[in-house]
C-alpha cells in the first residue's frame, strides 16, 4: 500500500534524506531541478540523472578546489595564459600534449629544465 506524501512532507523527506546521505547539492537544487524537469517533461530516470549529475559535478568542483588549495601554489596559472612568444623553445604541440595529462595516466615523469623566468612553474601549475 502506497501512501501519497503532501508537497510539504515530500520537501521535508528530501531535506532529511539529503542531510543523512550528505548530498548538499541535491538538497540545495532539487526543487529547481524538479521544476525544470516538469517543464521539460523529463522522465523520472532523466530527472534522476540530472539530479545525480549535479551532485557529481559539484563534488568534482569542490575536490578540484580542495586539491589546488592543498597544493599551496604561489599563484594560480592556466596553460591557456602561457605566453609562447616569451618561451620560443617550447613548441605549441608540446604544451598541448602536456595539457592532455596523458603522461599522468601513463605514469610517465615530466622534467622541465630551463633558466629562471622561462615558464617552468607556469607550465607545471597550469
| Per-residue pLDDT tens listing for the chain (126 residues) | 455 778 889 899 999 999 999 999 999 999 999 999 999 999 999 999 999 999 999 999 999 889 888 988 878 888 878 777 777 777 888 888 888 888 888 988 888 887 887 787 788 777
Treating both helix axes as pointing N-terminal to C-terminal, what angle do 44-71 and 24-40 enclose, rounded to 10 degrees? 140
CA atoms within a 13 Å half-sphere pointing along the CA-CB vector of 74: 3
- The C-alpha angle with vertex 77 and arms to 88 and 82, in degrees rounded to 5, equals 20
CB 18 within 8 A of CB 26: yes
Q: Quick one: CA torsion of 34, 38, 40, 45, rounded to 10 degrees?
A: 70
CB 123 within 8 A of CB 99: no
Q: Is the pTM of this model over 0.85?
A: no
Amino acid at each position: 500500500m502506497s501512501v501519497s506524501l503532501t508537497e510539504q512532507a515530500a520537501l521535508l523527506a528530501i531535506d532529511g534524506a539529503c542531510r543523512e546521505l550528505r548530498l548538499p547539492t541535491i538538497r540545495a537544487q532539487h526543487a529547481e531541478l524538479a521544476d525544470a524537469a516538469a517543464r521539460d517533461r523529463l522522465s523520472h530516470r532523466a530527472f534522476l540523472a540530472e539530479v545525480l549529475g549535479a551532485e557529481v559535478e559539484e563534488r568534482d568542483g569542490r575536490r578540484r578546489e580542495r586539491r589546488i588549495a592543498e597544493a599551496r601554489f604561489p599563484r594560480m596559472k592556466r596553460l591557456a595564459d602561457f605566453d609562447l612568444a616569451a618561451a620560443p623553445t617550447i613548441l605549441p604541440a608540446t604544451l598541448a600534449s602536456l595539457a592532455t595529462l596523458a603522461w599522468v595516466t601513463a605514469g610517465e615523469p615530466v622534467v622541465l629544465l630551463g633558466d629562471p623566468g622561462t615558464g617552468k612553474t607556469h607550465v607545471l601549475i597550469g
